[in-house]
A = this chain, B = another copy of it.
Amino acid sequence: MIATPRRFVKRPLIPLTSVQVARNRVTLADVARSAGVSTTAASFVLSGRGAEMRISPDAEARVLRAAQETGYRPNIVSRSLRTGTSRTIGFVSDTVATTPFAGHLIWGALDAARDREHLLFIGETEGDQELETQLIEAMHDRGVDGIVFASMYTRELDLPAGLTHRPAVLLNAVPTQPVAITCVVPDEFEAGRSAVNALLRAGHRERIAIIGAAPPDDTPEGSLAAVQRLDGIVQAMAEAGVELADAVPCPDWQPDIGYEATRLLMQRTRPSGIVCFNDRLALGAYQAIAEAGLTVPGDVSVVSFDDDLLATWLRPHLTTVALPHYELGREAITALLDAPQSPSGGAPGPTIRRIPMPLRERDSVQQLRAPRPSRPSRRPLTPR
């Protein structure tokens, strides 16, 4: 009665409903029966606590074998009902489609989730506040262990209802309210410094211009990226003792706007180096520069932000400061799963984790003269 693995023996007849779902999965009870032990024993063995519970090695082996042979997989739905944990995370963002970035954000999140044996629900809100709440509720209805709430461009946002009750992480965003929540954002300020520094290091000092925003604070509405990139640029230039030659603010960062802005720039200051606030603007800049009969980087050097796919499609390849979307996605999931259970675990404000934005040096910056002996870089002393 012990040795013979009797699979699928008389399962109790269940009253079939008119439309009965096919349930042909192997259950824990099946495994236990097949191994000749109780479901309790089987449960302990399969959760790795067989030794702890002092199950006999023989019984343990039988359970393991039975599970193997029957291809048993635990039903996470029922486990979730019992334990309240579903190995499932909700990923809600304002956009998954319009920007190619979204893919990498999700990619990183998926990878991190997979490492921890979690699955991801995806939801898109298109910025609709009611939809945000609905999605978050729908996910909680399905027992998610936590939610990552993501924005596609770095910004401040009002925390949607339902996020605060259970574990949550903000991705690419910080809350307007002073709530205790973990935020994962790219380090846009350092990125601003990196971008101009690429130009400064190559010897550009005279005619550096920027496209996308203008000091002190002419930036696209609500874009934290714009503000912080600008801050970084301004600070790095001040440190180097270099004047900003020109700046064209842009309401929207699209190629045609970059094109017009650059035409304006070429008439006004004819810069030798341009920092574009993203790669699309840079595409427009390339077009305008070519149209003026000039070349990149021979006549004009161009640096940019984002490291869009576009950056390596352009000729010459564009030097740009990358948004580390993959890392951002990863970090958000990691932070969520590693978070202490209590949301009230510390200071009464957000915990902000800044992810570095690496400079991708390519072919759009002209080396003007031998690099100056680098003096020890003076990093800012004031906290941001």
This chain: copies in complex: 2
Say whether B84 contacts A81, CB under 8 Å.
no
A97 near B: Cβ within 8 Å? yes
Say whether B255 contacts A313, CB under 8 Å.
yes
Please count how many residues in chain A sit with their CB below 8 Å of the partner chain's CB atoms.
Answer: 55
A238 near B: Cβ within 8 Å? no
Say whether A77 contacts B86, CB under 8 Å.
yes
Say whether A78 contacts B76, CB under 8 Å.
no
Which residues in chain A, 138-168, are within 8 Å of chain B measured between CB atoms? 138-143, 165
Given A21-B84, A84-B21, A103-B100, A141 contacting B74 (CB threshold 8 A): yes
CB closest residue in chain B, given A104: B97
A106 near B: Cβ within 8 Å? yes
Say whether A76 contacts B141, CB under 8 Å.
yes
CB closest residue in chain B, given A254: B313
Q: What's the nearest-Cβ distance from chain B to residue A32, in Å?
A: 19
Say whether B106 contacts A96, CB under 8 Å.
yes
- Residues from chain B with a CB closer than 8 A to the CB of A80 are 77
Say whether A81 contacts B85, CB under 8 Å.
no
- Residues from chain B with a CB closer than 8 A to the CB of A83 are 21
CB closest residue in chain B, given A291: B315
- Residues from chain B with a CB closer than 8 A to the CB of A165 are 24
Say whether B309 contacts A287, CB under 8 Å.
no
Given A77-B80, A142-B88, A313-B255, A103 contacting B110 (CB threshold 8 A): no
Say whether A121 contacts B119, CB under 8 Å.
yes
Say whether B88 contacts A97, CB under 8 Å.
no
Q: What's the nearest-Cβ distance from chain B to residue A289, in Å?
A: 13
Q: What's the nearest-Cβ distance from chain B to residue A119, in Å?
A: 5
- Residues from chain B with a CB closer than 8 A to the CB of A84 are 21, 23
How long is the Cα–Cα vector from A290 to B102 in the complex, in angstroms? Answer: 32
Say whether B21 contacts A85, CB under 8 Å.
yes
How long is the Cα–Cα vector from A76 to B140 in the complex, in angstroms? Answer: 9
A382 near B: Cβ within 8 Å? no
A267 near B: Cβ within 8 Å? no
Say whether A122 contacts B120, CB under 8 Å.
yes
Q: What's the nearest-Cβ distance from chain B to residue A195, in Å?
A: 22
Residue contacts A-B, CB under 8 angstroms, 16 given: A21-B83, A73-B137, A73-B140, A78-B81, A86-B142, A96-B110, A97-B326, A103-B103, A106-B122, A107-B124, A110-B124, A119-B121, A119-B138, A121-B121, A122-B122, A255-B313
Closest 4 CB pairs of A and B: A21-B84, A97-B107, A100-B100, A97-B103
